[in-house]
Amino acid sequence: MKQDLTAAAEEHSLEIECIWPGQATLGECPIWDERRQCLFWIDSLEKKIWRSDVAGAGAQAYKLPDLIGSIGLCSDGRFVSGLASGFAFIDISSDPVGVEWIGNPEPEKADTRLNDGKVDRQGRFWCGTMNQDFATPNASLYRLDPDLAWHRLETGFTVSNGIAFSLDGKTLYFSDSRVDRSFQYSLDPVTGELSDCRGFVDTTAYEGRIDGATVDADGNYWGALFDGSAVGCFTADGKMMRHIKLPVTCPTMCAFGGPQMDVLFVTSARFSMNEAQIAAETLAGGLFAIRGLGVRGIPEPRFDAT
């Protein structure tokens, strides 16, 4: 029995706008670059990084040679990324886009690829793999250190998602989105080692499942509820605080940005929809901005290769 979220969904003061109706096949990984004052996001299956201003204007695409699962900001202006073929640096200032390969953590697995990823408070890039059949539990969670060595921390997942970090950098959030499992891990900020895996949000209680996520300046966790037409905000102990409905079935990831870090950007997807569903849901795959939340995010940490 799904919980009745009618009361929680009453967010009358919010402004929800589709600022880019571009119909991404699989929009993901919005990230605000406070230095360049612009938003980046990706279309995973179309092999593109997109860029726009805070209002979605001037959208520009950068074509990649490979499927892309996630990006993180680097201190030198490049991106660290999880591509289907492995970890890489991406330089959109060159034409064509520059790709410097770091390495593939799973060369022996033809059925997995890198998916959700994020830079932690200490400047390390965490990225999980996914099985491309969305069913086999052989995906893993990796940590890429600034010396470009990667380490497998956990395994046995299906689709890695929901990666985010507490404000003090001592908790890692993670979800296996295809089996409705969401976790917290204790994270040693110095060593990068994980311990004390525990349940976080029971996503079977809500419509949808946690896909991409972020935290706000108050330490609360925001997750896109894929197949749930909503974004949820959860306390650090897993209780839902807010439930914001969106005009698309498949929101994929959210991130705070804008000059005041008070806009929540949300990507969405349409790859899992049939033609009739896409025709009825014309904003599917669009990029959304939610204003008036009364909360702010914090700038994303940057990866700094040594």
- Note the pTM of the prediction, 2 decimals: 0.95
Distance of alpha carbon 244 from alpha carbon 242, whole angstroms: 6
| SS3 letters across 173-209 | EEEEHHHCEEEEEEECCCCCCEEEEEECCCHHHCCCE
Is 133 annotated as a binding-site member?
A: yes
**Coil/strand/helix, residue 283:** coil
d(CA 4, CA 209): 16
Check whether 46 is labelled as a binding-site residue.
Answer: no
| Active-site hit among 116, 120, 176, 211 | 211
* Amino acid 237: pLDDT: 95
Tokens 């499992």 locate to 181
CATH superfamily for 15-291 is: TolB, C-terminal domain (2.120.10.30)
**Confidence bin at 205 (pLDDT 50/70/90):** confident
Q: pLDDT category, 253, cuts 50, 70, 90?
A: very high
113 is in an annotated binding site: yes
> Does the annotation place 180 within a ligand binding site?
no
Domain coordinates of the chain in residue numbers?
15-291
The pLDDT score that the predictor gives to residue 11 is 57
> Within a 13 Å sphere around the CA of 127, how many CA atoms are in the beta-carbon half?
31
pLDDT of residue 12: 60
Is residue 211 part of the annotated active site? The answer reads yes
